Amino acid sequence: MEAANPAELAIDMQGVAAGSLRDQTRAVVEDVNWQVAVGDYWVLAGLQGAGKSDFLMMTGGLMPPLAGSYKLFGEDMPIFEEGRLRKRLRMGLAFETGQLFNHLTVGENIALPLRYHENLGEADAHRRAQPFLDAMELAPWASSTPGALGRNWQKRVGLARALVLNPELLLVDSPLTGLDLRHVSWWRGFLQELSRGHELMNRRPVTLVVSAADLRPWRDRARQIAILKDKHLWVFKDWFQLDEKSGEMVHELLAT
């Protein structure tokens, strides 16, 4: 894969190893050399248990790499220091299960980053969050707690919370898992709009990395592909290269 201009890289990993969230000393992927350019739309695929979520959590800065160099928009990761936090906030992370706070309402969950990072009062934070509630079709449940919603809608709350600070890069962990067909269609369409430039993001295209166990829903959406298998990240610049070189690796991810 051709190296992108360093000034245009959202993610730049050289020789990176990532551990498991449950045991950060145990590597789930090793020797990763991966570059995500600004404007890319990646699907990160792997079978269940391959380590996709762990790798995405490391990429999201929740834990440091076990080895190698990882830069986010040119800044060394992970970022925990207050003085560098603004660099980290250029990236958003949507968890597979939403990771919502059950004692807060849906509206409060979405507004929380605004209150914490922008130091906004309750009224201002909720005003800023309202367009995200509307875009995710969540407004009717703004005053409900997440427990009153099904999995389909909880995932949208997590997405809204990840987007409310207008990140330039968005990591989305297994967004289609456990959803019914209507919600699958919504997610595919909404992420495509984000990639092209959604009005929520002031028409600025968002760089996307989306994990999945099944490649089929992403074939006409994602433009770049990475496959995690046997602790190795295989990188493909497009679907043509994937079809040409991948063989059995892809058959496993084209579930029937």
What residue has token string 């997440």? 146
The percentage of the chain sitting over the pLDDT mark of 70, rounded to a whole number, equals: 95
Helix axes 106-117 and 151-163, enclosed angle (nearest 10):
20
Q: Are 29 and 229 in contact (CB under 8 A)?
A: no
Specify the pLDDT at position 5. Answer: 52
Specify the pLDDT at position 153. Answer: 96
Helix axes 122-135 and 151-163, enclosed angle (nearest 10):
120
Specify the pLDDT at position 248. Answer: 66
Residue-wise pLDDT for 13-22, tens only, equals: 999 999 998 8
Task: Flag whether pLDDT at 185 surpasses 80.
Answer: yes
pLDDT greater at residue 249 or residue 120 = 120
Dihedral (C-alpha) 160, 108, 59, 135: value to the nearest 10 degrees?
A: 0
The topology (CATH level 3) of 39-63+81-248 is: Rossmann fold (3.40.50)
Specify the pLDDT at position 203. Answer: 96
Residue range 165-184: mean pLDDT, rounded: 96
Out of 66-70, 147-151, 250-254, pick the least confident.
250-254
Q: Model-level pTM?
A: 0.93
Phi, psi of 254 (to 5 degrees): -105, 65
Residue-wise pLDDT for 124-150, tens only, equals: 999 999 999 999 999 999 999 999 999
Specify the pLDDT at position 83. Answer: 83
Q: Where are the beta strands (DSSP E) in 39-167?
A: 41-45, 67-72, 75-76, 91-94
Q: Which amino acid is at 56?
A: L
Residue-wise pLDDT for 192-230, tens only, equals: 999 999 999 999 999 999 999 999 999 999 999 999 999
Q: Which amino acid is at 231?
A: K
Long-range CB contact pairs, 157-160, < 8 A, 24+: 157/98, 157/100, 157/106, 157/109, 157/110, 158/94, 158/95, 158/97, 158/98, 158/99, 158/100, 159/94, 159/190, 160/110, 160/129, 160/132, 160/133, 160/135, 160/136
- DSSP structural state of residue 4: P
- DSSP structural state of residue 209: E
Specify the pLDDT at position 8. Answer: 87
What is the residue extent of each domain of the chain? 39-63+81-248
Task: Flag whether pLDDT at 256 surpasses 90.
Answer: no
- Angle made by CA atoms 54, 200, 114, in degrees to the nearest 5: 65
Tell whether omega for the bond before 113 is within 30 degrees of 0, i.e. cis: no
